[in-house]
């Protein structure tokens, strides 16, 4: 148990996913301010331990439908979009007020599926979130439900939470839910259902346990939690499911008062990411780099435009490119922050010149060190 608790207490970067059923009173549709206040205490403690926190919060539709007086039951797409637009502003305000009272700064980020799935957009979302974390801010993330249609949406924040964890190289994802973990069967229907504390492998047997457990309120269920676990553990991120029905659910994990199911990651997020980049097929082009840049890369630095002497192929921002040294040796791969068209103009130049050459302020690095996988 203690070793499992360590997966949370020793994590450097934690994503906390909060389900609608916890945040919003199911009967009244009102935000549960006392619960959020208690959670803010937990988050304050994590921050004072030097842990970085990102929140993925549901609740906009549940709050918005109450404000708009929409009927119970399934909403039409336009109705849920209107409810999300109305509810999200209230949700953000509540976070700002309640976390603000605990000296925590928050920022709202609304993501669409494309923002995490398409590399170009993904680099933008990732860099904004990194900047916020560096500034000590807690991003509060939700799906941008007002523009998401069923074909292009996550629909559940379990998988969105896992994608955020993957994108940000988090080492722990906590799903605060109305169920305290994974069971061999639905515990509300089957008295013989057994709780599973540790999931080292996502076997077919485990994946089959997702069938049917559904909450009345949120969009997820155990199935989306298991899908989230697949994303998280393959990205080197441990995933915990615990009950958020109690106050201070995070400190209760620490003290052992609350049980949880832990899906174990086998790798670190950094290694998992490097493997993903290294294993990505289809390099779109190549950057030839000079010996100074080669040395800098070996020391774990980013690749700056100044260290690139030539470009091969045509590529877009976010594409995978091969790095080649001046003797023609392949050094590895990385995701480029510039298209080949723009890269042609800035190679060999100082990063401070980028804005005057391209007419926009791009990234200082051609390839950020987090986006590099050397051989």
* Minimum distance, C-beta of residue 181 to ligand GLU, in the bound complex (Å): 18
User: Could you give the CA distance from residue 239 to residue 14 in angstroms, rounded to a whole number?
Assistant: 10
- Per CB under 6 A, the list member of 157, 227, 238, 261 interacting with ligand GLU is 157
144 binds ligand GLU (CB under 6 A): no
112 binds ligand GLU (CB under 6 A): no
Give the total of residues touching ligand GLU (CB under 6 A).
15
Stretch that binds ligand GLU, among 55-63, 264-272, 297-305, 361-369 (CB under 6 A): 55-63
DSSP string, 37-72: HHHHHHHHHHHHTT-EEEEEE--HHHHHHHHHTPPS
Do 19 and 242 meet the contact criterion of CB atoms below 8 Å apart?
Answer: no
Of 178 and 267, which CB lies nearer to ligand GLU in the complex structure? 178
Q: CA–CA distance from 197 to each of 171, 209, 297, 326 (Å)?
A: 18, 14, 41, 53
User: Could you give the CA distance from residue 23 to residue 251 in angstroms, rounded to a whole number?
Assistant: 18
Angle formed by the axes of helices 77-100 and 33-48, nearest 10°: 60
Of 98 and 228, which CB lies nearer to ligand GLU in the complex structure? 228
- Per CB under 6 A, the list member of 42, 52, 115, 156 interacting with ligand GLU is 156
218 binds ligand GLU (CB under 6 A): yes
User: Could you give the CA distance from residue 138 to residue 229 in angstroms, rounded to a whole number?
Assistant: 23
Cα atoms in the Cβ-side hemisphere of radius 13 Å centred on 367: 33
User: Could you give the CA distance from residue 115 to residue 133 in angstroms, rounded to a whole number?
Assistant: 18
- Per CB under 6 A, the list member of 15, 61, 303, 373 interacting with ligand GLU is 61
Q: Please give the backbone phi and psi of residue 15, each rounded to the nearest 5 degrees, phi first.
A: -105, 125
User: Could you give the CA distance from residue 249 to residue 254 in angstroms, rounded to a whole number?
Assistant: 9
Stretch that binds ligand GLU, among 32-40, 108-116, 216-224, 265-273 (CB under 6 A): 216-224
* Minimum distance, C-beta of residue 175 to ligand GLU, in the bound complex (Å): 10
Burial code of 315-340, b = ≥16 C-beta within 10 A, e = fewer?
bebbbbbbbbbeeeeebbbbbbbbbb
142 binds ligand GLU (CB under 6 A): yes
- Per CB under 6 A, the list member of 51, 60, 227, 248 interacting with ligand GLU is 60
115 binds ligand GLU (CB under 6 A): no
Of 61 and 199, which CB lies nearer to ligand GLU in the complex structure? 61
Stretch that binds ligand GLU, among 140-148, 250-258, 266-274, 291-299 (CB under 6 A): 140-148
244 binds ligand GLU (CB under 6 A): no
Stretch that binds ligand GLU, among 57-65, 67-75, 165-173, 244-252 (CB under 6 A): 57-65
* Minimum distance, C-beta of residue 60 to ligand GLU, in the bound complex (Å): 4
* Minimum distance, C-beta of residue 215 to ligand GLU, in the bound complex (Å): 8
Cα atoms in the Cβ-side hemisphere of radius 13 Å centred on 273: 19
Of 58 and 166, which CB lies nearer to ligand GLU in the complex structure? 58
List the structure tokens of 132: 């916020």
* Minimum distance, C-beta of residue 190 to ligand GLU, in the bound complex (Å): 25
In the complex, the residues that contact ligand GLU under the rule CB under 6 A are 20, 58-62, 84, 142-143, 145, 156-157, 218-220
């Amino acid at each position: 148990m203690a070793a499992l608790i360590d997966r949370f207490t020793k994590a450097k970067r934690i994503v906390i996913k909060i389900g609608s059923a916890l945040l919003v009173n199911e009967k009244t549709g009102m935000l549960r301010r006392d619960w959020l206040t208690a959670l803010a205490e937990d988050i304050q403690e994590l921050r004072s331990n030097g842990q970085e926190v990102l929140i993925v919060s549901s609740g906009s539709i549940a709050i918005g439908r109450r404000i708009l007086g929409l009927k119970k039951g399934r909403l039409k797409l336009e109705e849920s979009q209107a409810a999300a637009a109305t509810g999200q502003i209230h949700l953000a305000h509540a976070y700002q007020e309640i976390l603000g009272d605990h000296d925590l700064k928050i920022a709202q980020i609304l993501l669409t599926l494309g923002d995490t799935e398409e590399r170009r957009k993904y680099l933008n979302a990732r860099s904004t979130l990194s900047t916020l974390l560096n500034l000590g801010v807690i991003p509060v993330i939700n799906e941008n439900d007002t523009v998401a249609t069923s074909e292009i949406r996550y629909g559940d924040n379990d998988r969105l939470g896992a994608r955020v964890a993957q994108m940000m190289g988090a080492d722990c994802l906590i799903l605060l839910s109305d169920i305290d973990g994974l069971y061999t069967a639905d515990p509300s229907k089957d008295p013989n259902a057994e709780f599973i504390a540790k999931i080292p492998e996502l076997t077919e047997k485990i994946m089959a346990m997702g069938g049917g457990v559904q909450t009345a309120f949120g969009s997820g269920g155990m199935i989306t939690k298991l899908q989230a676990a697949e994303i998280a553990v393959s990205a080197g991120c441990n995933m915990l499911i615990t009950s958020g029905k109690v106050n201070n659910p995070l400190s209760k994990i620490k003290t052992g008062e609350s049980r949880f199911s832990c899906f174990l990651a086998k790798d670190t997020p950094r290694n998992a990411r490097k493997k993903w980049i290294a294993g990505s097929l289809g390099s779109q082009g190549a950057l030839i780099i000079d010996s100074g840049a080669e040395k800098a890369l070996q020391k774990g630095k980013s690749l700056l435009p100044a260290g690139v002497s030539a470009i091969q192929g045509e590529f877009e921002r976010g594409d995978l490119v091969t790095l080649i040294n001046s003797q023609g040796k392949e050094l590895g791969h990385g995701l480029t922050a510039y298209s080949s068209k723009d890269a042609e103009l800035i190679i060999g130049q100082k990063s401070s010149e980028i804005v005057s050459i391209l007419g926009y302020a791009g990234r200082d690095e051609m390839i950020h060190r987090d986006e590099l996988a050397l051989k």
